[in-house]
């Protein structure tokens, strides 16, 4: 590959030299456990991040948390990743590149909230302890134009206590 690229560059550009090297491009062996569809050990692309590596395990199960994905390095360092930052806000800042030997742990989620009615994206969302109703409405992209904001009903499914709170 190096020779072919060098020849192509020399034919197209006078006085230009190319230097090409590839380093550490072997697949990385990681372990994904917890509330995923197929837990196990996987050989993944060397450029994989936390979010892309989850696809190897078939994705997060219905009860798995999207809000507190843990990555544990072989040296004991731990990183937390909130998939909502990527999915809702497009923020990749915590979606770090994985290293060989990393373990990704998906714990079960503890609280869900079902937002329906006159919001732009009705769905069931995972809720964190300190989040407000405004945060949850932002997840749903806000109200539609015909929403009656004075008539809001809130039901929270608490997995730990197996109850619905109004």
Q: Phi, psi (5° rounding) for residue 12?
A: -95, -30
Burial class (CB in 10 A: 0-12, 13-18, 19+), 164: exposed
What are the Cα distances from residue 96, in Å, to 27, 28, 31, 62, 123? 16, 14, 16, 24, 27
Tens of pLDDT, residues 89-103: 899 999 999 999 999
Q: What count of other Cβ atoms lies within 10 Å of the Cβ of residue 95? A: 19
Cα–Cα distance, 155 to 158 (Å, whole number)? 10
Residue with tokens 């930052």: 85
pLDDT at 156 (0 to 100): 66
Q: What count of other Cβ atoms lies within 10 Å of the Cβ of residue 82? A: 19
- Mean pLDDT computed over 118-126: 92
Residues 37 and 57: beta-carbon distance below 8 Å? yes
pLDDT at 4 (0 to 100): 83
Q: Is the pLDDT of residue 24 over 60?
A: no
* End-to-end Cα spacing for the chain: 64
pLDDT at 152 (0 to 100): 81
Q: Is the pLDDT of residue 83 over 80?
A: yes
- Mean pLDDT computed over 4-17: 79
Cα–Cα distance, 60 to 44 (Å, whole number)? 17
Tens of pLDDT, residues 55-69: 999 999 999 999 999
Question: In sequence order, which residues have a C-beta less than 8 Å from that of residue 157 and are 6 or more positions away?
Answer: 111, 112, 113, 114, 163, 164
- Mean pLDDT computed over 124-153: 89
């Amino acid at each position: 590959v190096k020779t072919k690229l060098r020849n192509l560059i020399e034919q197209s550009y006078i006085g230009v030299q190319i230097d090409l090297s590839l380093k550490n491009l072997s697949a990385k062996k990681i372990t994904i456990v917890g509330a995923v569809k197929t837990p196990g050990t996987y050989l993944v692309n060397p450029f994989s991040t936390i979010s892309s590596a989850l696809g190897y395990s078939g994705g997060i199960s219905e009860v798995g948390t999207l809000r507190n994905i843990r990555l544990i390095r072989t040296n004991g360092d731990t990183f937390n990743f909130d998939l909502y930052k990527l999915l809702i806000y497009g923020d990749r800042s915590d979606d770090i590149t994985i290293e060989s030997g990393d373990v990704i742990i998906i714990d079960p989620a503890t609280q869900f909230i079902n937002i329906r009615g006159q919001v732009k994206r009705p769905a069931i969302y995972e809720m964190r302890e300190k989040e407000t109703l405004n945060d949850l409405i932002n997840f749903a992209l806000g109200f539609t134009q015909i929403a009656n904001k004075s008539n809001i009903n809130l039901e929270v499914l608490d997995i730990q206590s197996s109850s619905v709170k109004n």
